[in-house]
């Protein structure tokens, strides 16, 4: 016969397995439990869109960096834009520590706020959109937020 303690441990392991790819921390089953009695599951996110994607490329002999979702220097994106060009911008904003929120390819409020912080820090007009003036700054040794 299984004890309540064993059932709790089994349920926690199953929950951790079902949610693989997400960050999950589960507490021990009782306040007086020892680490051996409980199960702590911590999985790192499998969705790391910017990790291991950093690339250097040249345009007319000028080196730029990016994340291989897009190599644009001119496409205008703003709140409501979606797709790989937005992922590229989000990775670049993350790279310069401007905290664009989740890198999901959706230009929302957090990406717009990060864009404005970046533009202010780098002497650009703070319009919250990324276009021909912001892309080169993001790609060419920018100042961090």
**What contacts 40, CB < 8 A, 6 or more positions away?**
25, 26, 27, 28
Domain match, 25 and 80 both: no
Domain match, 42 and 65 both: no
pLDDT at res. 110: 97
- CATH assignment at residue 100: 1.10.101.10
Domain count, the chain: 2
Q: Are 124 and 103 in contact (CB under 8 A)?
A: no
Domain match, 12 and 30 both: yes
Domain match, 86 and 39 both: no
Residue 40's pLDDT band (cuts 50, 70, 90): very low
Domain match, 37 and 84 both: no
Domain match, 88 and 135 both: yes
Domain match, 103 and 40 both: no
Domain match, 60 and 16 both: no
145 belongs to a structural domain: no
Domain match, 64 and 114 both: yes
Range of the domain at 91: 55-139
Domain match, 71 and 34 both: no
Q: In 1-145, at which residue ranges do the beta strands (DSSP E only) sit?
A: 55-59, 62-66
4 belongs to a structural domain: yes
Is the pLDDT at 39 greater than 90? The verdict is no
144 belongs to a structural domain: no
Closest of 81, 65, 13 to residue 42, by C-alpha: 13
pLDDT digits 0-9 by tens, 82-128: 999 999 999 999 999 999 999 999 999 999 999 999 999 999 999 99
Domain match, 13 and 75 both: no
pTM over 0.85: no
Q: Are 59 and 139 in contact (CB under 8 A)?
A: no
Q: Are 34 and 9 in contact (CB under 8 A)?
A: no
Domain match, 12 and 83 both: no
DSSP 29: S
68 belongs to a structural domain: yes
């Amino acid at each position: 016969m299984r004890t309540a303690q064993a059932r709790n441990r089994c349920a926690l392991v199953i929950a951790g397995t079902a949610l693989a790819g997400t960050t999950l921390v589960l507490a021990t089953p009782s306040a007086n439990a020892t680490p051996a009695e409980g199960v702590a599951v911590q999985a790192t996110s499998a969705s790391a869109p910017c990790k291991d994607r950093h690339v250097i490329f040249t345009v007319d002999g000028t080196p730029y960096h990016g994340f291989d979702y897009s190599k644009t220097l001119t496409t205008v994106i703003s709140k409501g834009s979606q797709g790989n060009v937005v992922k590229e911008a989000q990775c670049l904003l993350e790279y310069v520590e401007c905290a664009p929120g989740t890198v999901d390819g959706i230009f929302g409020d957090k990406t717009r706020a990060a864009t404005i912080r970046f533009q202010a820090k780098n002497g650009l007009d703070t319009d919250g959109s990324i276009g021909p003036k912001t892309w080169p700054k993001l790609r060419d040794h920018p100042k961090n937020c």
